[in-house]
Amino acid sequence: MTTRRRMLMGAAALAALPILPWRVPAAAAQAMKDEQRRTDPALLNRAPLIQTERAAEIAPGVTVIPDPRINLVPNIGIVAGRDAVLVVDTGIGVENGRRVLETARRIAAGRPLMLTLTHFHPEHGYGAQVFKGQARILYNRPQAEELRAKGPAYLAMFRGFGPDVAKALEGVEIVEPDETYEGERRIDLGGRTVMLSDMAAHTRGDQIVHLPDERIVFTGDLAENGFFPIFPDEDAKGQRWIEVLKRIEALDPKQVVAGHGAVAGPEVLRAVRAYLEDVQGEVRRLAASGAPVEEVDRRLTPLLKQRYAGWDNDMWVPFAVRVFHAEATGTPLKLPSF
Ligand SMILES: [Zn+2]
């Protein structure tokens, strides 16, 4: 469908709506000031290669290889202590894993490496095989289980996302962690404490990586800066996601390394939560009038896309609408197809 046709359809759907409150939550409005224009889709969909030459410290000993706003390239973290170095996420595929490992080795200068992943999704962790035997691999237990349960299906699905992604996934094997933990794990890297905390919402096995002394948190896709939150399958939960963001906000981080998008302050957490609460509120209001999910989706999705017009990847809006509808009504979840 052309953009123009989509816009016209959106306009028609809007015209048919009864008066709805037009209110961009303040936190979301603030976050959107820096992201007034959507990224050109051609730029978003370049080959998903980690650009290690862009690696930079966001605090002494805390390096981020930033996401250049290419889909399927996440922010990567490398956290160095006196005795060991922790890598957070690998990027998608062997070549990206190799690039990240090389950067981590350079920083580590002989110190032992650890690897953890924010969640099991391919763009975050399907370079882990390169680290096997080179770093101690540690995940939260639900993530390890979700990887085991869904890993092969996600690999097959992502290989269908075009030639660049298929190429990135050549030779990828899913590897088991060396160790798992329950709930929370404190790691002492030597003069630097890292807390790993299980916080499922975007998947069954998300975890955050929190540096309490530096007040830095790596959220994985629990927060994305300037992208719509992704509800990829039935394990993404709306209400739980709102609660998880409140827990992360309560840690009072100074810097938030989102799964995708620029490193920011805590406003990015508030912006994502404001959006989720907005979707939840609108869905509840329409669902209370007895509207079936298709109608709620048809009426709400164009409105939300316009309300958050500065964010990228708006194809995820109807997924959010349907998750919140299922939660509001207790009816079975019916996600749109990709
Ligand atoms: Zn994800």
Reported as a single tens digit per residue, the pLDDT across 114-146 is: 999 999 999 999 999 999 999 999 999 999 999
pLDDT score at 10: 37
Mean pLDDT of the region 313-319: 96
pLDDT of 15 higher than 60: no
Res. 1 pLDDT band, cuts 50 70 90: very low
pLDDT of 206 higher than 60: yes
Given a contact cutoff of 8 angstroms between Cβ atoms, the answer to whether 73 and 123 are in contact is: yes
Q: What tokens were used for 101?
A: 């490992």
Res. 25 pLDDT band, cuts 50 70 90: low
pLDDT score at 43: 86
C-alpha 225 – ligand 1 centre gap (Å) = 13
pLDDT score at 37: 61
C-alpha 226 – ligand 1 centre gap (Å) = 15
C-alpha 256 – ligand 1 centre gap (Å) = 16
pLDDT score at 39: 81
Longest dimension (CA), the chain: 64
Order of strands, sheet of 184-188, starting from the edge strand that comes earlier in the sequence:
184-188, 193-198, 207-211, 216-220, 255-258
pLDDT of 230-270, one tens digit each? 999 999 999 999 999 999 999 999 999 999 999 999 999 99
pLDDT of 33-67, one tens digit each? 544 568 888 889 899 999 999 999 999 999 999 99
C-alpha 127 – ligand 1 centre gap (Å) = 15
Q: Is 108 left (phi over 0), alpha (psi -120 to 50) or beta?
A: alpha
Element (H, E) at 1: none
b/e sequence 85-100, b meaning 16+ C-beta within 10 Å: bbbbbbbbbbbbbbbb
C-alpha 146 – ligand 1 centre gap (Å) = 12
Residues with Cβ within 8 Å of residue 59, at least 6 apart in sequence: 211, 214, 216, 255
C-alpha 227 – ligand 1 centre gap (Å) = 12
Given a contact cutoff of 8 angstroms between Cβ atoms, the answer to whether 104 and 113 are in contact is: yes
C-alpha 166 – ligand 1 centre gap (Å) = 18
C-alpha 22 – ligand 1 centre gap (Å) = 30
C-alpha 268 – ligand 1 centre gap (Å) = 17
C-alpha 150 – ligand 1 centre gap (Å) = 13
Nearest to 120 by CA among 62, 177, 47, 61: 177
Res. 291 pLDDT band, cuts 50 70 90: very high
List residues, by chain if needed, whose CB lies under 5 Å from ion ligand 1: 121, 221
C-alpha 121 – ligand 1 centre gap (Å) = 5
User: Domains plus CATH for the chain?
Assistant: 3-329 (3.60.15.10)
C-alpha 224 – ligand 1 centre gap (Å) = 10
Residues with Cβ within 8 Å of residue 80, at least 6 apart in sequence: 61, 62, 63, 107, 108, 111, 189, 192
Q: To the nearest whole percent, how much of the chain has pLDDT over 90?
A: 86
C-alpha 230 – ligand 1 centre gap (Å) = 7
C-alpha 290 – ligand 1 centre gap (Å) = 32
C-alpha 232 – ligand 1 centre gap (Å) = 8
pLDDT of 63-99, one tens digit each? 999 999 999 999 999 999 999 999 999 999 999 999 9
Q: To the nearest whole percent, how much of the chain has pLDDT over 70?
A: 89
C-alpha 14 – ligand 1 centre gap (Å) = 30
pTM: 0.90
Mean pLDDT of the region 24-38: 55
